Amino acid sequence: MTRPASAPAEVDWELAVATVRALPPAAPILLACHVNPDGDALGSMLAFGLGLRRLGYAAVQASFPGPLEVAEPFRALPGLDLLVAATAVAPDPQLVVAFDAASPDRLGDLAAQLDAAPASVVLDHHASNPGFGKVSLVDPAAAATAVLVDALLRRLDVPLDAEIAECLYVALATDTGSFKYDSTTPATHELAARLIATGLPVGALSRRLFDTRPFGAVRLFAEVLGRAELDPAAAGGHGLVWTYATLADLARYGQRASVLEALIDGVRCAAEAEVSCVLKQVRPAEWAVSLRSKGTVDVSRVAVGMGGGGHRLAAGCTGYGTLDEVMAALRTHLG
């Protein structure tokens, strides 16, 4: 399937439900999300995995490319026992379900499993998603992939319990910036209300997700934010604020790369810039690029131009070369 992303039609939902229900209980199922999973990718995947367990499926595995490392805020999520390293997943799954991946490339080597499986379902909310997979459930208007997962679980008649609700709430809260991004709608709050009604400890969850980090990370953030640069002429005169973190920075403060995911929030608040960017070194000549916009500039266009994807207000890609070379490419695409 290679059609542009659009809200799923009812026939798409029916096909997804039929695809799952056609499987025998012992069928091997692989769930996959993108590299370096954020709260939406991981929470959505684990919520669906728990839902499949409730339906009686006993051979469910969940994975993502790269090291099997879960960021600190997500290490208490229900369903983590479903996780298996990408190099150790069972061969020949009968169904592969992908979550929050804007393109097959974001699944790494697991994309081959999706292509080879007799059945596959893709759940995503990135506007840049080309519509891959045998069944594509992509809604760019959804606040998070969790919205689509909730809709599919309801169609599969999976009861909403506290464990599934926690995974979905973490996914929803993180991808909406604790319900402060423009993607937040009345429907977003209605879903949150249903999840909270299962008895979720919202205060404790929010502190774990947004207000807790190691002291070493606090010191690391201070140094990285201290080197931030402002370019008022960039992005067609709308302004760019950016900074970077190196592998040496992480080593100096004894931190894992996952702590850097929250760094963009400290950069994007600069009043003088429409666009914010954080470059995070992955390897000597490889950088993970996080982009945010306050509304005027479409950063997904920039990310797609550099081989990535995302949304109008939040996107990402991978840059190759020196820091100066990646920034030069980024400025070219920003215009």
What residue spans define the domains of the chain?
A: 10-210, 215-334
Q: Look at the chain and count its residues.
A: 335
3-state secondary structure of 318: strand
The dihedrals phi and psi of 244, each to the nearest 5 degrees, come to -150, 155
Q: Is the dihedral of CA 335, 243, 247, 100 positive or negative?
A: negative
The reported pTM is 0.89
- Between 299 and 182, where is the model more confident? 299
Q: What is the pLDDT of residue 16?
A: 98
Q: What is the mean pLDDT of the chain?
A: 94
If you write DSSP's letter for every residue of 192-250 in order, what string do you get? HHHHHTTT--HHHHHHHHHS---HHHHHHHHHHHHT-EEETTHHHHT-EEEEEE-HHHH
Token pair 């993607």 is found at 183
5 has a pLDDT exceeding 80: no
247 has a pLDDT exceeding 80: yes
6 — pLDDT class (breaks 50, 70, 90) = low
183 has a pLDDT exceeding 90: no
Structure-derived torsion over alpha carbons of residues 302, 308, 310, 314, reported in degrees to the nearest 10: -60
Tokens representing residue 44 in the block: 């959505």
Task: State the CB neighbour count (10 A cutoff) for residue 70.
Answer: 16
**pLDDT tens-digit map of 94-118:** 999 999 998 998 999 999 999 999 9
**CA 131 vs CA 106, 113, 165, 247: distances in Å:** 14, 17, 27, 35
The conformation of residue 83, written as its DSSP 8-state character, comes to B
4 has a pLDDT exceeding 50: no
- Between 261 and 278, where is the model more confident? 278
259 has a pLDDT exceeding 70: yes
Q: What is the pLDDT of residue 36?
A: 85
162 — pLDDT class (breaks 50, 70, 90) = very high
Q: What is the CATH code for 215-334? A: 3.10.310.30
Q: What is the pLDDT of residue 56?
A: 98
The percentage of the chain sitting over the pLDDT mark of 70, rounded to a whole number, equals 98
Q: In 3D, which of 324, 277, 276, 333 has the Cα closest to residue 305?
A: 333
In CATH, which of 3.40.50.970, 3.90.700.10, 3.90.1640.10, 3.10.129.10 is domain 10-210? 3.90.1640.10
182 — pLDDT class (breaks 50, 70, 90) = confident
**pLDDT tens-digit map of 213-229:** 999 999 999 999 999 99
**pLDDT tens-digit map of 47-105:** 999 999 999 999 999 999 988 989 889 999 999 999 999 999 999 999 999 999 989 98
Q: Which residues of 1-30 are buried (b: 16+ CB within 10 A; e: fewer)?
A: eeeebeebeeebbebbbebbeebeeebbbb
Q: What is the pLDDT of residue 35?
A: 86
1 has a pLDDT exceeding 50: no
